[in-house]
Amino acid sequence: MSQPVSVEPSSPPYPPRRVYLALPFHQPLFTWVLLAVNVLIWLLMTVRGGSERLDVLIAFGAKFNPLIVEGQVWRLLTSIFLHIGLMHLLFNSYALFRLGMDVEHIFGSGRFLVLYLLSGVSGSLLSFAFNPHLSAGASGAIFGLIGALGVYLFRHRQAFGQLGQRRLWDVIGVALYNLVFGFVTPGIDNLGHLGGLVSGVVLGWLVGPRYSVVLTAEGQPLVVDSNQWRRYWPGLAAAVFVLIVSTGLVMWKQSDSATVHLWRGERALDGGDPAQAATELERAIAQDPRSAEGYFYLGVAYGQLEQYALAAQAYEQAVHLSPGSAEVRWNLALIYAELGRYEEAIAQMEEFIALRPEQAYLAKARAYINLWQKKTKP
């Protein structure tokens, strides 16, 4: 009795066909919402006095290190909705529109919003850690979108072929160009960009789409995103935990920074406590011996305490660090006069006139010079 034999054909009867399947895309929503919020807040700031005024920026929630140290942690978030001037708003709005539409189209509205907000906060946090200056803007969040889009294209580079790989290199080029531009251009908070980019890469890897092909009930192939909430929420929760802990550590570190001590010293002066101001300002200078502003306010504090010799030393350091400051020259002249050093007082007041020759100051400055010249005569 013959036995059945299985025979494998040496080649398939038909050549394989390349099949193109549609990806699961989403309709953008939050990109439009964020654009509208950014424009609305900028208009409100303009009505309140201008989006480039420091007091307006602080009132609306800009990243300002001393206030964050005092507990206003929400500024790490609110600062990403503020923009300093019209050009800043227009540039970031264009970038948000171009990148936001793509990323929300791919990731979906929920994941897009999480990615945008956490990247923005991460950028603010890195800036808070290493940049003492006030800052604001959506750039950190936008760099997060760049990072997430780059991860998405890298993960699916084989499926997307040459077109996808070219797009990946385009994204990498945009990120590198903007980072280099930020490092060589003064006034740009590049630490916020870098923090947002790194966060976007990490979050893009955690929550980004992971495609697989399944068969429908009719036997048709269908691409689905297998990276759903139940799969990525532990990693996302860990990322949020790291962000919270990092914020606490940076707040602790910044509590002894020159910027915070300087701010506390200025507030103590405003509150009529020159002794406390002097203590805080001495700490600020110990942290940053190149702070002309710190020496200036220390001179004010010593002057109010009638410690004129110490005030003169502080103002002299301020003049050395910032010789073009007319206000320092004026105060130093008055302190020299208190010490009876009239010739030096006259010299400093003449320097003040050279720096501020406006009529509003000229008459009073000349009056002081005439008074001190009389005192120098035998």
Q: Where are the domains of the chain?
A: 30-254, 258-376
213-269 per-position pLDDT tens digit: 888 888 888 888 899 999 999 999 999 999 999 999 999 999 999 999 999 999 999
Classify 325 as helix, strand or coil.
coil
Give the CATH number of domain 258-376; options: 3.30.70.1140, 1.25.40.10, 2.40.50.140, 3.90.1530.10: 1.25.40.10
Burial-class residue 66 by CB neighbours within 10 Å (0-12, 13-18, 19+): buried
Q: What percent of the chain has pLDDT over 90?
A: 76
Above 90 in pLDDT, residue 212?
no
| Residue pair 81/37 in contact by the 8 Å Cβ criterion | yes
Q: Which two tokens stand for residue 226?
A: 């297998």
Q: What is the Cα 349 distance to its own chain's centre?
A: 40
Label residue 6 by pLDDT band (50, 70, 90). very low
| Residue pair 187/116 in contact by the 8 Å Cβ criterion | no
Above 80 in pLDDT, residue 26?
yes
Catalytic-labelled residue, pool 51, 122, 124, 139: 139
Cross-strand partners of 224: 212
Above 60 in pLDDT, residue 4?
no
What does the pLDDT average to over 106-120? 97
Please give the Cα distance from 258 to 145 (Å, whole number).
33
What does the pLDDT average to over 174-178? 85
CATH superfamily of 30-254: Rhomboid-like (1.20.1540.10)
Above 90 in pLDDT, residue 106?
yes
Q: Report the predicted TM-score, pTM, of the whole model to 2 decimal places.
A: 0.87
Above 60 in pLDDT, residue 12?
no
What does the pLDDT average to over 114-132? 97
58-73 per-position pLDDT tens digit: 999 999 999 999 999 9
Catalytic-labelled residue, pool 83, 88, 156, 193: 193
| Residue labelled with tokens 């099949």 | 19
Least trusted range by pLDDT, from 5-14, 90-99, 123-132, 296-305: 5-14
- Work out the mean pLDDT of the chain and round it to a whole number: 92
Same fold, 30-254 and 258-376: no
- The CA–CA distances, whole Å, from 86 to 50, 52, 140 equal 10, 9, 18
| Residue pair 296/328 in contact by the 8 Å Cβ criterion | yes
What does the pLDDT average to over 369-374? 92
11 is catalytic: no
291 is catalytic: no
Label residue 335 by pLDDT band (50, 70, 90). very high
pLDDT at 108: 95
